[in-house]
Amino acid sequence: MTENTVQIRRALISVSDKTGLIELATALVEAGVELVSTGSTAKQIAAAGLSVKEVSEVTGFPESLDGRVKTLHPKIHGGILADVRLEKHRSELEQLDIQPFQLVVVNLYPFVETVASGAQGEDVIEQIDIGGPAMVRAAAKNHANVVIVVEPDDYSTLIETLNSGGTTFKQRRHFAGKAFAHTASYDTAVANWFQAEYGQGAQPERLNIALTREQELRYGENSHQAAALYKQSPSSGIAAAKQHSGKQMSYNNYVDADAALRAAHDFKSPAVAIIKHANPCGVATAEDIGTAYALAHETDPVSAFGGVIATNREVSEQMAIAVAEVFTEVIIAPGYSAKALEVLEKKKNLRILELAAPYARPETELRQISGGMLVQDSDGFDFFSSEGWQLVSGEAADEKTMKDLEFAWIACRAVKSNAILLASNQAAVGIGMGQVNRLDSCHLAVTRAGDRVVGSVAASDAFFPFSDGLEVLIEAGVRAVVQPGGSMRDQEVIDAATKAGVTMYFTGERHFFH
């Protein structure tokens, strides 16, 4: 395809998002471009004192059926799809009295936003655009002759072309690619909604994923790997967080910050999680966020150096002062007091992130494997309550001990399997994670806890296959244990706990995190 420039003489504009509309329309009119528009778009352009022709004037047919039918007409689509490089097409246009378009500006009904608002049924269905995607796809297909623009952010680039003699083929091809991605994302949102609302079975027959690149990252896990951040629409969580200051977020920063959010927001009371390499090196809850941070930091002060911090409450000045004393890569929270932000912003390299919306765990989790994806329901809060726990050895825990056991059981979910978490006063004191056998995780947790292991409680994310791991904990001074149970050797493990007089509960459900 040769490089050819197309001068814009006639434009079709139909936008749901009116951002920048008048600025664009003004620039087009000043450049001598004839504007054709629909419904509310035409009314807004006319109200600004600009010359615009309504689609019904072009088609000779009124907008009908509550606006469902307006642009689906040969005089519109013929003008978009005609390849005016061909004599045959030019002749047909003349015979049919159709004027070609060189520019189509369309964005679609707010389907995604409507779903996000909580609307249901017919209110959602009414926001499924029909004519819009047809125009977008037609213009994108015919990008040799027509430029299609679907995002207000691209209006400034479009305006620049008016003063440079027209759009180049390279520009039109670029916009066409964005347009097809735009309609694909839109159709994905519609399909996913239908599957969620009316589909059968826990998992849909087809899984459609639509993401938009938010930014290119310096590199991935390592410097030789290219990487970028992509966002869902609407987006929340770490992907949509506002960065107040600090260096650009890296791939590893995002991974660790998301893990920290997951850990901190598992708790209802004020909680802080400190993450290193996607594993907690500190987790704690308390009556206030400053105390929770202090307890979390005490879990493993050595590993906390260079860590990532997440809270489930606004960061206080007290906490900010303590954080500022330790080298930290990232801190992410629902908010910051003015004084806290003032303190933290003095640390020029500290990445300070604030959630744009209340944190919500995704309902499904995806993991890429070679040739496909694994999809599962998110490990929710169904198994956090101690109400269904079974006491299998020792005396029933008192209120304080039970609170520590519940804390440990919740916190160990954020630890990579095999996971052993020791806790005291609703704060982790020793964590064993990611080992290939549970015995090693027990040794690691005890070693990291040091003297604090005495009188602590322990949580294991899965059953003890043998009594040896439990015996390591008991010999070190652990006084109560919570674990799923379910091993062929459960009785051997129960006997070891009973012999030592240690309280042990079975939850009946594990919390693996690979």
User: Encoding tokens for residue 247?
Assistant: 């260096």
More reliable by pLDDT, 291 or 7? 291
- What is the model's pTM? 0.77
53, 73, 141, 247: the active-site residue: 141
89, 244, 277, 339: the active-site residue: 277
Closest CA to 422 of 377, 480, 358, 353: 480
| 238-354 and 390-506 share one fold | yes
Assess whether 277 carries a catalytic annotation: yes
Of 52-61, 222-231, 392-401, least confident by mean pLDDT is: 52-61
For the chain, give the mean pLDDT: 89
Residues in the chain: 514
User: Encoding tokens for residue 37?
Assistant: 């528009």
More reliable by pLDDT, 409 or 235? 409
| Strand, coil or helix: 75 | helix
In this structure, how many other beta carbons lie within 10 angstroms of the beta carbon of residue 391? Answer: 12
Any residues with CB less than 8 A from the CB of 412 and at least 6 apart, and which? 419, 420, 421, 459, 460, 461, 511
Q: What is the mean pLDDT of residues 400-422?
A: 94
- Rounded CA separation 271/265 (Å): 7
Task: Indicate if the pLDDT at residue 82 is higher than 90.
Answer: no
Q: What is the mean pLDDT of residues 422-437?
A: 94
Residue 92: which pLDDT band, with cuts at 50, 70 and 90?
confident
CA angle (215 as vertex; 212, 219 as ends), nearest 5 = 120
Task: Indicate if the pLDDT at residue 296 is higher than 70.
Answer: yes
Task: Indicate if the pLDDT at residue 132 is higher than 90.
Answer: no
Assess whether 141 carries a catalytic annotation: yes
Superfamily (CATH H level) for 390-506: AICAR transformylase, duplication domain (3.40.140.20)
- CB contact burial 105-126 (16+ within 10 A = b; e otherwise): bbbbbebbebbeeeeeeeebee
The answer to whether 13 and 25 have CB atoms below 8 angstroms apart is yes
Q: What is the mean pLDDT of residues 303-318?
A: 96
pLDDT attached to residue 2: 43
CA angle (511 as vertex; 432, 482 as ends), nearest 5 = 70
pLDDT attached to residue 175: 93
Residue 59: which pLDDT band, with cuts at 50, 70 and 90?
confident
Q: What is the mean pLDDT of residues 131-151?
A: 91
Q: What is the mean pLDDT of residues 112-124?
A: 83
More reliable by pLDDT, 1 or 431? 431
Closest CA to 261 of 237, 277, 242: 237
pLDDT attached to residue 509: 87
- Tens-digit pLDDT profile for residues 268-280: 999 999 999 999 9
Domain-wise residue ranges, the chain: 10-198, 238-354, 390-506
Task: Indicate if the pLDDT at residue 424 is higher than 50.
Answer: yes
Q: What is the mean pLDDT of residues 403-423?
A: 94
Task: Indicate if the pLDDT at residue 149 is higher than 80.
Answer: yes
pLDDT attached to residue 201: 62
- Percent of the chain exceeding pLDDT 90 equals 56
Task: Indicate if the pLDDT at residue 114 is higher than 90.
Answer: no
Is CATH 3.40.50.1380 correct for 10-198? yes
pLDDT attached to residue 299: 95
DSSP-derived letter for residue 154 is: G
Task: Indicate if the pLDDT at residue 487 is higher than 80.
Answer: yes
Residue 200: which pLDDT band, with cuts at 50, 70 and 90?
low
- Tens-digit pLDDT profile for residues 182-192: 898 888 888 88
Task: Indicate if the pLDDT at residue 46 is higher than 60.
Answer: yes
pLDDT attached to residue 384: 66
Q: What is the mean pLDDT of residues 77-95?
A: 87
- Rounded CA separation 311/261 (Å): 7
Task: Indicate if the pLDDT at residue 202 is higher than 70.
Answer: no
In this structure, how many other beta carbons lie within 10 angstroms of the beta carbon of residue 141? Answer: 16
Residue 1: which pLDDT band, with cuts at 50, 70 and 90?
very low
The answer to whether 508 and 484 have CB atoms below 8 angstroms apart is yes
Fold for the domain defined by 238-354: Cytidine Deaminase; domain 2 (3.40.140)
